Structure formats: structure tokens, C-alpha cells
Amino acid sequence: MVELRIANIGLLATPEGSSARRGAGQDKIRLVKNAVIGVTKGKIVYAGDGENAPAGIAEYDAGGRLATPGLVDAHTHLVFGGFRQHELEYKLAGMAYLDILRSGGGILSTVEATRAATRDALYNKSAAFLDAMLAHGTTTAEIKSGYGLNLETELKQLAVINDLQKKYSVVPTFMGAHAVPKEYAGNPDAYVDYIIEAMLPTVAEGGLAKYCDIFCEKSVFDIAQSRKILEAARGHGLQLKIHADEIEPMGGAGLAAEMGAVSAEHLLQASDTDLSAMAQAGTIAVLLPATSFYLDKNYARARAMVEKSIPVAVASDFNPGSSPSYNMQFVLNLACLKLKLSPAEALTAATLNAAAAIGCADTKGSLEAGKDADIVLWDCPDINFLFYRYGNNQVHKVFKEGALI
């Protein structure tokens, strides 16, 4: 007898396992028609055909709909002050993303707004985003700091993320190396030292972050500066991520492999040699096609990555500059249409592989006995339908750890 029986699921679609799927394995998902999911104490205890399903104390009728694991957004910057709608006009006038940053706008304008915001205001704004994300099927998210760029505000952002953790399923990443703040303009090496001497020890001692990420990019942080910060972070017990080879080819993907980073993100310009190194090292590629869309750039070479046996995840990159949307359904449309992932590969990318990229594939990312009951019922008959419609919210209902949202 289970506490809750979610019955009359027309089609259950899920990857399987507790680690990232790669190569041909990324395309292999489990499909069960007329399925039932049994839930007790927030965990899945049964996921399979209706005939062999246990009885339940309570029953929810899924009405023949599609069920998938809750979506996992493995890369967001969702704690920020203000918005940057004024940049739309710069974009339309042809100004490039990095030029806006170089002129003191971009990330640096969000830094000013985030420094000025109170912790409460940041919490309320971020919680509202996470509620909206839940309504769009995202049940777990990674969140990066990086709009403080001084100790006080980086700690404020991380405190907000840690507060959010009490109510939401979120994973904190420290990204003090997101840009060089105006106080250190023209002197990035001094800022790198400040990160290493003042920020990292405090973040690590406070247990405020699980990962350390860095924007390895032309006129932001070069390879040597990135390596220095990541080595220090690793020394403090943080796991590593890199914004790598997004706009200019820098070799960040190779650095991720060399440093044993859990993931490398963006990767639009990653070289074949560096992708091979990632495959060898088991580095997860976190691809952000909504950012390519919004910056009007090329899309990462996802097919080459799958062929090289790199586990591929996708995420929203939700932030006020390069990706002002948290909608993972749109990311999945792009994963199929632009990254050329199959619907099954895309589902794996936004669930199990995304969970692996943020260290929670043991509890999230698939509909299997033992995992958290994070389940989305979609107004769709199958995953092709889910990924071919776009622009409308196709969520019917979301269960988070067994509770109907």
C-alpha cells in the first residue's frame, strides 16, 4: 500500500539511473504506457505498468497524460537586482554582448542593482522566479552568485540562495569570477587575488556553496587566471564548473577537463581537441541554447558531443542579460530544433544529465523507485508533442517530493 497512487498515466517517459547518460545511452529512455507511480513519504516507491501497481491510500487521476521527471535547470543566475530591458535597444543597434560589458554595462549594471538590493528584496524576487519555474515544470535549479563582485554582496547573494534552499530544491554555486568589478578595472590580477584571499576562504568556511564557477572569456578572465581561481577553489573543497568557450575560443573546455571540473558550460567555440579531453575526463557539457538564441549566436555542437560520448545537459542560463527566460520548455524546443538532439536525448539532457551536473542524480532526474517524487504531468500525449509545441506552458500539474503544487 502506497500513500499516493498517481494512476492513469497515458505515457511515462524517463531516463534511468543515478549518473549521467552519454553516447547512445543518452537516447535510451524508458517508456511505459498506462502507467502508475506510487509515492510514499515524498519518494517514488513504484513506477511502472498499471497492472502490477500497488494499491494506494489516496489516488490522483492523471487523465491519460504524459508524465516525466521534474525538469532540472543546471545553470541559472536567478538572484539579481533590477532587469536590463534598456539593453534591448543596444542589441537592436548592433552592439555586441561583450561590448556592452566593456562599456561598463551588462553584468556590471546588474552588479550595481544587486549591491543596492536588500537581502529580503532579493529573496522575494528569487522565490517568485522559483514559483514560476515550478509552474513551468522545473523542480530543481542551480543558482550562481556573481552579481556582487565584492565580499559583502557575494555573501548576500549566497545567503539568499541558502535561504531559498529551505523551501526549494536549489544548489548554490559561487561565481565571484563573473566579471572584473569597476573597483579593479584594468587590474584583473588584483581582483583574482582578492577572490582567492578574501572571498573563497569565507565562502568555503561558511559552507555556502557546493561549486565554484568562472567566466573564462576574452577580456573577462583568461586561462591562467581561471586556473588559479579554480585551483584555489578546489583546495577549499569546492567542486568546479566553467563558463567555457562561449564567445571567443579560449580553451576553457580543455581547462575543465584538465581540472576535473564536473561540467563545462556554453561551449559554442570549443575545439575538437578540447571536446575529446572532456569526453576522456567525463566532463558534462551543459549547453545553453536559449542564450545562443537571445545573443543571436551559433549553437553548440551537441551532435559532435554525443558522438564523442560526452554527457550532454541543457539549462536555461536564466539571467537578466543574455538569457532573460527561465522557461525550460523553450530550452527543450531549442535542444531539438537547434542542437539537433532527439526528443529522448533532450529529455535526458534536461533531467538526469542536468541532475548529474549539479550533483543530485542519486535523488533527482528520473522516475524510479528510491528517487524523490518530483513529477510533471503534461498536457501532451508523448514527448514529441511536448517538444514540438512551443511558446505555451504545457504543464498540467507538478508534484514536488510527492506534494501537488
| Contact footprint for Fe ion (CB under 5 A) | 317
Is residue 155 within 8 Å of residue 202, measured between CB atoms? Answer: yes
DSSP structure class, residue 300: P
Residue among 79 and 341 whose Cβ is closer to ligand NIG: 79
Q: Which stretch, 38-46, 102-110, 221-229, 393-401, contacts ligand NIG (CB under 6 A)?
A: 102-110
**Which one of 4, 6, 107, 233 is in contact with ligand NIG (CB under 6 A)?**
107
**Cα 342 from Cα 294, distance rounded (Å):** 22
**Cα 114 from Cα 41, distance rounded (Å):** 38
Does position 22 interact with ligand NIG (CB under 6 A)? The reply is no
Residue among 49 and 99 whose Cβ is closer to ligand NIG: 99
> Residue 110 binds which one of ligand NIG, Fe ion, none, with CB within 5 to 8 A depending on kind?
ligand NIG
Cβ burial, residue 401 (10 Å; 0-12/13-18/19+): middle
At closest approach, how far in Å is the CB of 167 from Fe ion? 23
Is residue 268 within 8 Å of residue 247, measured between CB atoms? Answer: yes
Is residue 350 within 8 Å of residue 369, measured between CB atoms? Answer: no
Q: Name the closest residue to ligand NIG (Cβ).
A: 321
Is residue 218 within 8 Å of residue 247, measured between CB atoms? Answer: yes
Total residues contacting ligand NIG by CB under 6 A comes to 14
Kindly state the greatest CA–CA separation across the chain: 67
Question: Residue 142 corresponds to which cell in the numbers above?
Answer: 542551480
**Cα 171 from Cα 327, distance rounded (Å):** 18
At closest approach, how far in Å is the CB of 80 from ligand NIG? 7
Is residue 257 within 8 Å of residue 236, measured between CB atoms? Answer: no
Does position 148 interact with ligand NIG (CB under 6 A)? The reply is no
Residue among 47 and 315 whose Cβ is closer to Fe ion: 315
Does position 252 interact with ligand NIG (CB under 6 A)? The reply is no
At closest approach, how far in Å is the CB of 109 from ligand NIG? 9
At closest approach, how far in Å is the CB of 289 from Fe ion? 13
CA angle 315, 319, 323 (to 5 degrees): 65
Q: Which of 265, 258, 247 is nearest to 305 (CA)?
A: 265
At closest approach, how far in Å is the CB of 116 from ligand NIG? 16
Q: Which stretch, 47-55, 228-236, 312-320, 351-359, contacts ligand NIG (CB under 6 A)?
A: 312-320
Does position 241 interact with ligand NIG (CB under 6 A)? The reply is no
DSSP structure class, residue 372: B
User: Would you call 23 helix, strand, or coil by DSSP?
Assistant: helix
**Which one of 153, 157, 239, 319 is in contact with ligand NIG (CB under 6 A)?**
319
Residue among 5 and 243 whose Cβ is closer to Fe ion: 243
**Which one of 106, 181, 289, 365 is in contact with ligand NIG (CB under 6 A)?**
106
Q: Which stretch, 59-67, 106-114, 308-316, 327-335, contacts ligand NIG (CB under 6 A)?
A: 106-114
Does position 360 interact with ligand NIG (CB under 6 A)? The reply is no
At closest approach, how far in Å is the CB of 250 from Fe ion? 15
Alpha carbon of 56 to those of 37, 77, 369: distances in Å? 10, 40, 15
Does position 322 interact with ligand NIG (CB under 6 A)? The reply is yes
Amino acid making up residue 140:
T
> Residue 200 binds which one of Fe ion, ligand NIG, none, with CB within 5 to 8 A depending on kind?
none
Q: Name the closest residue to Fe ion (Cβ).
A: 317
307 Rama sector, left if φ>0, alpha if ψ -120 to 50, beta otherwise: alpha
DSSP structure class, residue 364: S
Residue among 318 and 378 whose Cβ is closer to Fe ion: 318
Residue among 216 and 349 whose Cβ is closer to ligand NIG: 216
**Cα 332 from Cα 28, distance rounded (Å):** 17
Say how many C-beta atoms besides its own lie within 10 A of residue 245's C-beta.
Answer: 27
Q: Which parts of 366-405 interact with ligand NIG (CB under 6 A)?
A: none
Q: Which residues of this protein are in contact with ligand NIG, per CB under 6 A?
A: 77, 106-107, 110, 215, 243, 246, 291, 317, 319-323
